[in-house]
Amino acid sequence: MYAMTGKLLRVNLSSGTIQTEAIPADLAEKYIGGRGLATKYYTEEVPAGVTALSPENKLIMMTGPLTGTFATSAGRYMCVSKAPLTETIGCANSGGNFGAELKYAGFDGIILEGRSPEPVYLHIKNGKAVLRPADKLWGKTVYETTDMLNETHGPEAKVACIGPAGENGVLYAAIMNDKHRAAGRGGLGAVMGSKNLKAVVVRGTDGIKVADSEGFLAACIDARRKLRSHPVTGTGLGVYGTEILVNIVNSVGALPVHNWRDGAVYKDAEDISGEALAEKYLVRNKGCFGCTIACGRVTKIPNGPYKSAGEGPEYEAAWALGASCGINDLAAICKVNFLCNEYGMDPITLGATYACAMELFDKGLLTKEEIGGPLAFGDAQSIVDFAVKTAMKEGFGARLAEGSYRLAESVGHPELSMSVKKQEMPAYDGRGAQGMGLSYATSNRGGCHVRGYMTSPEILGIPTKMDPLVTEGKAAMLKVFQDLTAVVDSAGICLFTTFGMGLPEIGAQLRPATGFSYTDEEILKTGERIWNMEKLYNLSGGFSKKDDTLPPRLLKEALPEGPAKGKVCELDTMLAEYYQVRGWDAEGVPTPEKISELGLK
């Protein structure tokens, strides 16, 4: 097998046994790797009725064939499991150096099973793996854990770990790697914590060989050139990071304010924008392994009450902690983002849960006594104070740790949670960008922007400009985005490459890397296969058409101002068309013909 090691580790944490398995070449061809391959293993091995935090759940980490090579931004690895926040298929990926190092150590992926009786960490070095006691690491932050493991295993070792949030079962705890990078959404860090697995440390010195060296290098150089000459991947993301979107999305009236209650034009957008971040706190930009886009923000708050340093925030985090909470204090937003990295939590869900709590407090549905003080929109100090309390599940933090849906439901108002399938929607209002609304409603992991990024055509005009306010054509475009994203996540490259390149460049890199002769069309069909595989798994877990929806606020409350004034999300129209485009029946179930066409059983 080329580009892949062809091997995976199977670690049973209950019994402490570790085995190496071969990955069949036909599976690698049919599911590419990463998200596709991991989901194939996961759905075969874990019945849909298994709950996320039970020992019967498994957690799979999987790289793609391009991970660790010279391909475009090829530093990604994928985590697949049942997600505690949603109980849907959970699937989150991350960059940094960990994924590449895992391949250099001789493995494409790791399947983690069972539950260790004691806290442990997995140490992998050049084809060998061993479980070691983690009692000294338990309770430590992500930074402390990483430093301690690098002290023990050398500075070259790469670490993926959980922080206190994952240990304590915060439902949106992240798996962190290289300190600042996160497989962030859905709470897979809590799955790792439930298995008593604190960290995976990996060091490898083997190389990755490709099938056609010259052809591969030429394809990589061509694709890299395209990224560097594109305004988004060559300039925008490097200079301003994803935060560049704050002013852009605000200008089209799709930046939700105050838990999506008060429209989608934020008066203080400028204060929390990428431009402001670059001017005030950016030290330099940083790339993940092999990435020339380098959207990473190395940031420092040099003085004041929030004096600290770290990485981020991303656009969605800055929105969730900023506009959605009515907070324009960028230093406080950065501080909470750093704490999320340190304690291992998803700042999107944390910020959106704060915003929900603020609205519940505003409406008198949560009292000062319950919260331990007021929690009003605009209260920057509180979002900082509650970050650690949430990770530690202290006081009201324990309720914030459940996410916005369970919080709002506990006071009898689940409709005030701005979530889909209990996962909070990120920073793009589905009323001002209709296709994003459809994307949230149909995402296999709940409210999420990176399953089908309709912002790209609707707001950025990539690959073609679509009117964000109309519904026509959105279903068909979304299908392509969802399928292509599944390909990207399986190949081991970053989704951001798709601003500057597309399927032809992905296919041109995959074929010489692996030696498989799949055409671009077949590769995209694989994306569709992966999407349907995830969908079928959710269906067998009890999800149905009624879950493919949006909070009532988006369907009934029209935007009061801005370019999208008067709009609600016209989901019903788009959803029916989407099911049709997908080859699913009117209830959103893949037809037997579609299942057979995709080679799924």
Partner 1 sequence: MVLRPEKCLGCRSCELICSFNRAKEFNPQKSAVTVIPYDKAMICVPIMCTQCEEACCEKVCPVSAISKDEHGARIIDEKKCIVCKMCISACPLGNIAFDGDKVFKCDLCGGEPNCALHCPSGAIEYKEALPSSILKRKALADRFKDVFGEEE
Report the interface residues with partner 1, using CB under 8 A: 68-70, 97, 104, 179, 205-210, 213, 217, 221, 224, 228, 283-292, 294, 298, 300, 309
Measured from the CB of residue 7, what is the shortest distance to partner 1 in angstroms?
Answer: 17
312 touches 334 (CB < 8 A):
yes
Smallest distance from partner 1 to CB 290, Å: 6
In the complex, least distance from residue 235 CB atom to partner 1, rounded to whole angstroms: 11
Residue nearer to partner 1 on the CB measure, 229 or 544: 229
Dist. CA 41–CA 32, nearest whole Å: 13
- For partner 1, the closer of residues 2 and 453 by Cβ is 2
**End-to-end CA, the chain:** 26
Nearest distance in Å: CB 284, partner 1: 7
291 vs 357, which CB is nearer to partner 1? 291
Burial 266-285 (b: 16+ CB within 10 A, else e): bebbebbbbbbbbeebbeeb
Residue 68 or 189 with smaller CB distance to partner 1: 68
CB of 221 to partner 1, least distance (A): 8
How buried is 574 (Cβ within 10 angstroms: 0-12 exposed, 13-18 middle, 19+ buried)?
buried
Residue that has been written with the tokens 């009061």 in this structure:
560
Is the omega angle on the peptide bond into residue 305 within 30 degrees of 0, that is, cis? no
Beta bridge partners of 129: 124
Continuous segment of H or E residues that includes residue 504: helix 503-514
Nearer to partner 1, 284 or 368 (CB): 284
Write down the least CB distance from residue 286 to partner 1, Å: 5
User: Could you tell me the smallest distance in angstroms from the CB atom of residue 76 to partner 1?
Assistant: 13
Closest distance of CB 255 from partner 1, Å: 29
In the bound state with partner 1, the residue whose beta carbon lies nearer, of 150 and 573, is 150
What is d(CA 191, CA 172) in angstroms, rounded to the nearest whole number?
10
For the chain, the C-alpha Rg in angstroms (whole number) is: 22
Q: Distance of CA 122 to CAs 37, 54, 248, 335, Å? A: 22, 20, 43, 30
- CB closer to partner 1, 13 vs 334: 334
CB 111 within 8 A of CB 8: yes
Strands 197-203 vs 120-125: parallel, antiparallel or unpaired = parallel
Cβ count near 207 (within 10 Å): 9
Of 7 and 115, which has the nearer Cβ to partner 1?
7
490 closest CA partner among 512, 454, 462, 514: 514
Q: Distance between CA atoms of 15 and 124, rounded to whole angstroms? A: 18
Distances (CA, A) of 9 to 2, 6, 103, 229, 589: 18, 11, 11, 40, 34
Which lies closer to partner 1 via its Cβ, residue 95 or residue 119? 95
Name the DSSP letter for residue 71: S
Least distance CB 409 / partner 1 (angstroms): 40
| Residue 227 vs 265, nearer CB to partner 1 | 227
Least distance to partner 1 from the beta carbon of 146, Å? 9
